[in-house]
Amino acid sequence: MNIILLGLNHKTAPLEIREKLSGAASDETHPLREIMQIAGVREAFYLSTCNRTEVFFHVDEKPEETLGLLKAYLRKRGNFGAEDIDRYFYLHFDENALSHLFRVTSSLDSMVMGEPQILGQVKESYREAVDNDATGILLNKILHHAFRVAKRVRTETGIASHAVSVSYAAVELAKKIFGNLAGKTVILVGAGEMSELAARHLMQHGASRILIANRTFERSVQMADFFRGEAIRFEDLEKRLQEADIVITSTGAPNYVISQEMVASALHRRKNRLLFLIDIAVPRDIDPAAGQLDNVYLYNIDDLQDIVDENRNIRQLEAEKAEAIVADEVKRYWEWYNTLEVVPTIVSLKEKTEAIVRGELEKSSPWIQNLPEEERVHIEGLLSSVVNKILHDPIVGLKDKTIHRSAKPYIAAIKHLFKLEDEPSKKRSE
């Protein structure tokens, strides 16, 4: 099938490597536009989140050459060294690529297993792929199948009920530092989905005051109204930073939005009272140097892994159920895909036999036309029935062979025996 997945994630690459490929791209500079220009790429899907960047693509007959070109492109885009691709990236083919994609979409490969955000991120990336004319029949089918797998996992297992998001893990870390969040003031920098989730968890765990800063002030106001917090202007963040006990950042900014100098100034104004900073953005929002200051505790997204590990045992049994669903759905997809090989042969076989029946009826037309209409219909039906019964076993046998991926010799045999003409080959994605 020549389906390939090339990517890196939080398990294979540290934050400073992952953030080289992260960040939103405009329609004009979207990676898919360049990936689709690589020789041999027929369809492609590009997923980029804070924890992973993956390219899922369908190639022509020479996958090694196309793969080499794609590696070169990613190396250039991320400004990687030649050894970084082999060191940090993983590679999957065909069934393994499908299994990986299904696991990712079902949140089985997430830092926080069971978190719901990844499904939305995959859907958004799929929309971008469609908008960039990067998908065809094959990848469209695969992505819709992946969404079905995710739905099955969430409805047939309890993995979602035990899931925690990255935002929740951040709040759990804050609770460990302070003991509890009662009476604490929190500043959320960024008003996206991650910040919304953090706000929900903070309110549930007793935070008394929430300030929200976002580049779009109207969005801060909306979110503040919903959570009964206070919207602050992004340009006022530096002078308001002193009010916070906890700062959680989750913006899409390409550069630091909180510098070491800003943190040092806030500490001085709050008389060196403890300041807890959680940076869950990729690229990072807070200058890592801020963590070197006294009475400052700075954690980034990779630091949340410890909290995730604590919940892993709880979710393990449900994860095993989910893995079984993924395996079943990979098998189902593969069976469907392999039927594509035999369908043209089956159609050709039926068309040829139907043409033979029509030809014989035309030869017998003079005496058939003299029969009552009821008898003519009966004869035509009888001939069709006989032909269908003769073809039944060969067709069923041919379909059955697709399950075991051994249909090609049987396709060749049927074409030879029935003298079926080969149709010009067509791309499956067209």
pLDDT per residue rounded down to tens, the chain (430 residues): 689 999 999 999 998 899 888 765 555 678 999 999 999 999 999 999 888 999 999 998 788 999 999 999 999 999 998 789 999 999 999 999 999 999 999 999 988 788 888 999 999 999 999 999 999 989 999 999 999 999 999 999 988 776 566 777 788 888 888 888 999 999 999 987 777 887 788 888 889 899 999 999 999 999 898 888 999 999 999 999 999 999 999 998 999 999 999 999 999 999 999 999 999 888 999 999 999 999 999 999 888 777 777 777 777 888 899 999 999 999 989 888 877 767 777 778 888 888 888 787 777 777 777 788 888 788 878 888 888 888 888 777 776 766 555 567 777 777 777 788 654 443 334 4
Same domain, 140 and 289: no
CA 314, 316, 321, 322 dihedral sign is positive
- Cα distance between residue 35 and residue 323, in whole Å: 31
- Cα distance between residue 33 and residue 134, in whole Å: 8
Same domain, 209 and 172: yes
Residue 304 and residue 170 in contact, taking contact as beta carbons nearer than 8 Å: yes
Nearest alpha-carbon partner for 193 in 289, 119, 107, 111: 119
- Cα distance between residue 5 and residue 55, in whole Å: 6
Same domain, 175 and 288: yes
- Cα distance between residue 135 and residue 405, in whole Å: 25
Q: Which residue has the tokens 């009826």?
A: 361
Same domain, 16 and 80: yes
**Phi and psi dihedrals of 414, rounded to 5?**
-65, -40
Nearest alpha-carbon partner for 249 in 221, 276, 271: 276
Nearest alpha-carbon partner for 333 in 145, 206, 74: 145
In a domain, 430, yes or no: no
Beta strands 52-59; 3-9: pairing state: antiparallel
Nearest alpha-carbon partner for 185 in 268, 274, 310: 274
In a domain, 364, yes or no: yes
Same domain, 150 and 174: no
Same domain, 229 and 156: no
- Cα distance between residue 143 and residue 124, in whole Å: 11
Asked if 341 is an active-site residue, the reply is no
- Cα distance between residue 294 and residue 273, in whole Å: 10
Same domain, 283 and 363: no
In a domain, 273, yes or no: yes
Using the 3D structure, point to which of 261, 292, 308 is the last residue of a domain: 308
- Cα distance between residue 324 and residue 331, in whole Å: 11
CA atoms within 13 A on the CB side of 350: 12
73: tokens are 């492109």
pTM beyond cutoff 0.85: no
Cis bond upstream, residue 14 (ω within 30) = no
> Residue 228's domain is classified under what CATH number?
3.40.50.720
Same domain, 149 and 170: no
Residue 314 and residue 293 in contact, taking contact as beta carbons nearer than 8 Å: no
Beta strands in 217-317 (DSSP E): 230-233, 246-249, 275-279, 296-300
Same domain, 196 and 276: yes
Same domain, 211 and 142: no
Residue 349 and residue 395 in contact, taking contact as beta carbons nearer than 8 Å: yes
Same domain, 176 and 155: no
Q: Find all residues with CB under 8 Å of 207, minimum gap 6, and list them.
A: 181, 182, 184, 185, 186, 246
In a domain, 317, yes or no: no
In a domain, 18, yes or no: yes
229 secondary structure, DSSP code: -
What are the angstrom distances between the C-alpha of 145 and each of 36, 284, 302? 22, 34, 31
- Cα distance between residue 399 and residue 169, in whole Å: 49
What is the per-residue pLDDT for 275?
95
Q: Which residues lie across from 277 on neighbouring strands?
A: 247, 298
Q: Find all residues with CB under 8 Å of 309, minimum gap 6, and list them.
A: none
Beta strands 185-189; 246-249: pairing state: parallel
Q: Where are the alpha helices (DSSP H) in 38-93?
A: 63-78, 84-88
In a domain, 429, yes or no: no
Same domain, 148 and 200: no
Among residues 8, 35, 41, 50, the one annotated as catalytic is 50
What is the per-residue pLDDT for 25?
55
Helices 117-131 and 137-156, packing angle to 10 deg: 170
Using the 3D structure, point to which of 145, 163, 181 is the last residue of a domain: 163
Which residues constitute the domain of residue 219?
166-308
DSSP string covering 388-409, please? HHHHHHHHHHHHHHHHTT--HH
In a domain, 222, yes or no: yes
Count how many domains the chain has: 3
Using the 3D structure, point to which of 163, 190, 213 is the last residue of a domain: 163
